[in-house]
Amino acid sequence: MDQFILNIIHRPEMVPEYAEKVTGQGKAEDLGRKALLTESLDIFRTQQECAHKNGLKTTIQMTYASLFNDEAVALAKEHHDTYGDEIGLTLLGLPCEQFREKYKTKDFCIWMFSMEDKKAIVRDVFEKFHDCFGFYPESTGSYYLDADLINFIKAEYPSVKCAVATCWEEGPKAYHTCNNSWYTFMDGGPWAPWIPSKANTHAPAANEDEDSGIVAIPHLSRDLLACYDGNGSNFGTHPQNVLRGMIYDTKTWEYPYLYNLIDQYRSLARYNDGYAYNMMFVGPGWMNKMGRWEQPYELLLKSYEDGCAYYGKLKKEGKLTDMTMAEFADYYREKKSYTEPECALWRDILYGSDKQLFWYCDPYMRACVNMDQGGAIVDLRPYAAKLEWPVGIGTKHVQDASYPFLIQEKYRAGYFTHYAGEGTVRSAKLCRGGEEIDLCLCRTKAHFSREGKDRLLTLDPVDVVFEDGLTVTVQSVITFTEGSSEIRIDRRILSVSDPTQTVTIREYMVGCYGTTEYTEDMTSLTLGVDAGEQSAVIPYEYKCREAAAPDAGRVWCRIPPIKTEVSMRAEGLDAKGFVREGYAFSPMFTLGYEGTLKDKEVFSTWLRLERAD
Amino acid sequence: MAQAGKGRLNFRCPSCFMRDIDMDMFYDKEKGEYYCLRCQFHGTEEEVLEKNELARFRYKDMYRRFSFEEE
């Protein structure tokens, strides 16, 4: 039977995010304002009540500030005893008078501090927690926890087994939404729980050696389509985020989208061996008595009550299991193996487009396949590199915690570009008599299946119609083989209107590397074609060069800044491998294979990701 | 002219919202209107609410309840 697991997390945040900024507008900052402290605790109480009255247990994540508040500590103990809530410790909610006095900074995001400060803060907060409760917590978290920080926490406090460790696709988009003032750059991670590797939080561990020792959960369960393009903070299992997105009826105060989102997450059990997951974690600032943006307090409260009531209803119907974070970590370790992927065939539930995306995540890659673009891969993160990427003050990445991409269709154009050049995408073109038709323009639907270690995405066939009337019906099958670090794509010609005719197929990947919209220096990259005596190597100089060879065993690009090598190989008639160097206006590289296809034939390619250093 | 402040609720700029930017607006008591610090939008509360409804144009399935039974 399918199991849908829910973690509800509440934090008594004595100075809620937004509350001081919003309710205190026009006043000098005062973190000790009595009204602020009282309201914060009231909100926490209300949130707890919403969960408990629906029969749901919570994980109470104490904040540093709340550990100085006897009432908050007493409340946590009482709820632990009465409702079985877990008492954990969050590294969010650091701001308070005591913290400012001690650390002399207004920084509050734990991953952005220097390593020295991270260690001091963790010890401080964990020991303070121990003073209050007499034990160390089993769960912790923040919006993001970098690998060095997780490794330190696990070494110092081995009781920790679960942590909130990233916020899905919260990166440049969130920064832009917040008028370029919200410095949380953490794109490129898993959307569902995973075991982080010791080297990089985003990249799941492939084995025990790589295991950081914790189970990570994402901050919220976010819409895998809406969040990829739009503001992530509008589309998650956070009722007030849905209000932030204005996705509700202003007359009736109803929001079917919230329930659709929860239900779509429930449906993901069919792709993940009967398991699905949701996480709801609303900071108290979102239930501010002053209201939040256009929404009055009454609507904020209603949405949270409704969210809890829906989860409670599912539980009563036997369709949901509520767990604390620590309980979930044990369940997850029991349920999942290291290499077992997380899969999600996601459909649009908001815009009416009927569009589908397929997300795949394992220790070697995260990939997104877009069925509205003929099954093109539109996002690709090479976890195989297990890239060490220290973040925080004193490192090269003070704020940028994103896992770099090779393909990102929103930041690097994808299929459509203006005037010249190519954007990043992995697709194919069918060519004939000077005509090139990209499968990106063939909208289709996908069907998921599993065969042993393979997860297959079989796309509905599409017709490619050439100007001379020749019609080729082609079907794409995309195979992710567990633990292989490869993506296989088969293009099957199901029919040709004139079976005596052939077409050329050009399988290609346009790639680059980066974490933002802006291009990086590509001059350390090297392109290559492996073809015996016809082998060629192109050191990147933006000179728009090309190399090709028939029967090439492999074409590749080595990307030292992200310690990654991406390569392709092919199987099919007249397979010719090629690589293309970019140029200044369009700096991306291209790897690919060309071949000949006729009726009933198949052309197969494999895209492989490896660490290279 | 006195400084602007916050209005009855903390309205965002509908024009910026439509380009995925959350910009709080401020209230000009003398003109009786909200205005955006980033773009040129300005309007009464009634106009803001009207434009907020307009901003929902892209959510074609906002009122629809889906079923996720095996398809």
Domain boundaries, chain A: 3-347, 364-611
Per-residue pLDDT at A28 exceeds 80: no
Contacts of A3 (CB under 8 A, 6+ apart): A269, A274, A275, A276, A321
Higher local confidence (pLDDT), A419 or A176:
A176
Give per-residue burial for A461-484: e unless 16+ CB within 10 Å, then b: ebebebeeebebebbbbbbbbbbb
Q: Are strands B42-43 and A356-362 parallel, antiparallel or unpaired?
A: unpaired
Query: Class of the A364-611 domain?
Result: mainly beta
Stated as kind and residue range, the H or E segment containing A227 is helix A226-229
Band of the pLDDT at A276, cuts 50, 70, 90? Answer: very high
What is the pLDDT averaged over residues B33-50?
97
The full DSSP string for A7-29 is EEEE---SS-TTHHHHHTTTS--
Domain count, chain B: 1
CA distances from A127 to A79, A106, A137, A453 (A): 22, 22, 10, 45
* pLDDT reported for residue A573: 82
Band of the pLDDT at A289, cuts 50, 70, 90? Answer: confident
Q: Which CATH superfamily is domain A3-347 in?
A: Uncharacterised protein PF12979, DUF3863 (3.20.20.510)
| Yes or no, beta carbons of B20 and A22 under 8 Å apart | no
* Closest to A577 in 3D by CA, of A538, A540, A541, A531: A531
Q: Which residues pair with A322 in a beta bridge?
A: A6
Q: What is the pLDDT of residues A524-548, one digit of tens each?
A: 999 999 999 999 999 999 999 999 9
Band of the pLDDT at A285, cuts 50, 70, 90? Answer: confident
Residue listed under structure tokens 């008595």: A289
Gap between the Cα atoms of A228 and A414, Å rounded: 13
* pLDDT reported for residue B71: 54
| Yes or no, beta carbons of B65 and A291 under 8 Å apart | no
* pLDDT reported for residue A394: 98
* pLDDT reported for residue A613: 87
Stated as kind and residue range, the H or E segment containing A315 is helix A297-316
* pLDDT reported for residue A95: 87
Higher local confidence (pLDDT), A215 or A13:
A215
Band of the pLDDT at A430, cuts 50, 70, 90? Answer: very high
Tokens of A367: 């990939």
Contacts of A13 (CB under 8 A, 6+ apart): A40, A44, A63, A65, A66, A92, A93, A283, A284, A285
Gap between the Cα atoms of A66 and A41, Å rounded: 9
Among left, alpha and beta (phi > 0; psi -120 to 50; other), residue A201 is alpha
* pLDDT reported for residue A295: 92
CA distances from A70 to A74, A375, B11 (A): 6, 56, 36
Size of interface A-B (CB pairs under 8 A): 86
Closest CB to A350 among B24, B55, B62: B62
Gap between the Cα atoms of A222 and A236, Å rounded: 4
Q: What is the pLDDT of residues A49-89, one digit of tens each?
A: 999 999 999 999 999 999 999 999 999 999 999 999 999 99
Per-residue pLDDT at B17 exceeds 60: yes
pTM: 0.96
Q: Which residues pair with A149 in a beta bridge?
A: none
Higher local confidence (pLDDT), A291 or A510:
A510
Tokens of A166: 């990233």
Residue A586 DSSP label: B
Residue A178, amino acid: C
Tokens of A300: 């904020």
Residue A335, amino acid: K
Gap between the Cα atoms of A34 and A30, Å rounded: 9
Instruction: Give the whole-number percent of chain A exceeding pLDDT 70.
Output: 96
Q: What is the pLDDT of residues A199-209, one digit of tens each?
A: 999 999 999 99
Per-residue pLDDT at A426 exceeds 80: yes
What is the pLDDT averaged over residues A405-433?
96
Angle at A85 between CA A81 and CA A86, to 5 degrees: 105
Q: What is the pLDDT of residues A311-353, one digit of tens each?
A: 999 999 999 999 999 999 999 999 999 999 999 999 999 999 9
Per-residue pLDDT at B48 exceeds 90: yes
Gap between the Cα atoms of A7 and A329, Å rounded: 11
Tell me: ipTM over 0.95. yes
Closest CB to A351 among B17, B59, B68: B59
Tokens of A293: 């943006």
Closest CB to B65 among A173, A259, A353: A259
Gap between the Cα atoms of A455 and A367, Å rounded: 13
| Yes or no, beta carbons of B49 and A267 under 8 Å apart | no
| Yes or no, beta carbons of B53 and A179 under 8 Å apart | no
What is the pLDDT averaged over residues B33-41?
97
Answer whether A213's CB lies under 8 Å from A162's CB. no
Closest CB to B63 among A249, A267, A270: A249
Does A344 reach chain B within 8 Å, measured CB to CB? no
Query: Which of A 96-135 lie inside 8 A of B, CB atoms?
Result: none
Angle at A512 between CA A511 and CA A513, to 5 degrees: 135
**Average pLDDT score over chain A:** 95
Angle between helices A297-316 and A34-52 (to 10 degrees): 30
* pLDDT reported for residue A30: 63
* pLDDT reported for residue A268: 98
Q: What is the pLDDT of residues A234-245, one digit of tens each?
A: 999 999 999 999
| Yes or no, beta carbons of B20 and A249 under 8 Å apart | no
Band of the pLDDT at A33, cuts 50, 70, 90? Answer: low
Contacts of A42 (CB under 8 A, 6+ apart): none
* Furthest CA-CA distance within chain B: 63
Gap between the Cα atoms of A597 and A507, Å rounded: 12
Does A316 reach chain B within 8 Å, measured CB to CB? no
Task: State how far residue A409 is from chain B, nearest Cα, in angstroms.
Answer: 18
* pLDDT reported for residue A232: 84
Band of the pLDDT at A24, cuts 50, 70, 90? Answer: low
Give per-residue burial for A149-167: e unless 16+ CB within 10 Å, then b: bbbbbbeebeebbbbbbbb
Low-confidence winner among A259-263, A292-296, A516-520, B59-63 (lowest mean pLDDT): A292-296
Among A22, A177, A346, the strongest candidate for a mutation testing the B interface, having the largest count of B CBs within 10 A, is A177
Per-residue pLDDT at A431 exceeds 60: yes
What is the pLDDT averaged over residues A254-281?
98
* pLDDT reported for residue A34: 63
Answer whether A122's CB lies under 8 Å from A113's CB. no
B49 within domain boundaries = yes
Band of the pLDDT at A476, cuts 50, 70, 90? Answer: very high
Does A259 reach chain B within 8 Å, measured CB to CB? yes
Does A182 reach chain B within 8 Å, measured CB to CB? no
Band of the pLDDT at A288, cuts 50, 70, 90? Answer: confident
* Closest to A294 in 3D by CA, of A347, A224, A243, A336: A243
Per-residue pLDDT at A21 exceeds 70: no
Q: What is the pLDDT of residues A139-175, one digit of tens each?
A: 999 999 999 999 999 999 999 999 999 999 999 999 9
Q: Which residues pair with A559 in a beta bridge?
A: A564
Band of the pLDDT at A29, cuts 50, 70, 90? Answer: low
What is the pLDDT averaged over residues A110-118?
98
Gap between the Cα atoms of A602 and A124, Å rounded: 61
Tokens of A316: 């009563």
Q: What is the pLDDT of residues A545-601, one digit of tens each?
A: 999 999 999 999 999 999 999 999 999 888 999 999 999 999 999 999 999 999 999
* pLDDT reported for residue A27: 64
* pLDDT reported for residue B1: 78
Burial of A520 (0-12, 13-18, 19+ CB in 10 A): middle
Range of the domain at B43: 14-56
Tokens of A374: 């003929």
Gap between the Cα atoms of A283 and A290, Å rounded: 15
